[in-house]
Each structure stands twice: as C-alpha cells, then as structure tokens.
Amino acid sequence: MLLEDSYGRKVTNIRISLTPACNLRCTYCHAEGEVAPKAQMSADDIAEILRVAAGFGMTSVKFTGGEPTLRRDLVDIVASVPESMESSMTTNGTLLAPIAQDLKDAGLS
C-alpha cells in the first residue's frame, strides 16, 4: 500500500527528528525559539516507525534534529533502517568525524 498526499502524489520519504538538542546556536536554524520537548523517541520506537513506513512503500528516510550526532545510539538507529529504504542525515558536521565510518557501515548514504 502506498500513501498519497492531498494532491495525489505518492509519498516515498519520511523525515524523523532524532533529538531537539544541538551543540550550536545557528541564527538561521529553523528551530530557533522552539521549546524543546523533554523526551525523545527511543531507538526501538524509531525502528518500529521505519518498519511501518517501509510497509507503506516509503523508500527513504532523512534523519534530522537538532543535531542527530548527539545521540549515542545513532549508529544503531541507522542500522535499523530496512534494506528497502535509503537513509540520509542533516548534520552540522562538528561531531561527525569519529562516527562517520560507523554510520557508513550501518548503511547511511
């Protein structure tokens, strides 16, 4: 089953905000002035959302935040992406170098 938007277009991607936390305070960020929730989704909940999304024909996921690399379980989250889906991530890059290879190995494209 494929999802369609209100214009009849196929919905093939999903965006998941992994955390409201960020290590920078960029003035151009879309989240300025946003009140951050006190909780974030668990890795297991995200994996379940991805499984369901793949079942609805979603072919890609983009991980965003805040800053996704602040999550200690980020590699596990990326590894939970179903094989039928591509994954990408929006990051400020400041914390990426130490985990870049692990993310690539987990399937981040």
The pLDDT, as a whole number, for residue 28 is: 78
**Can you give the residue ranges of every domain in the chain?**
3-106
Residue of 2 and 57 predicted with greater confidence: 57
Q: Residue 18 above 80 pLDDT?
A: yes
Q: Residue 14 above 60 pLDDT?
A: yes
Per CATH, which fold does 3-106 belong to?
A: TIM Barrel (3.20.20)
The pLDDT, as a whole number, for residue 26 is: 82
Is the model's pTM score more than 0.85? yes
**What residues have CB less than 8 Å from 104, skipping those under 6 apart?**
none
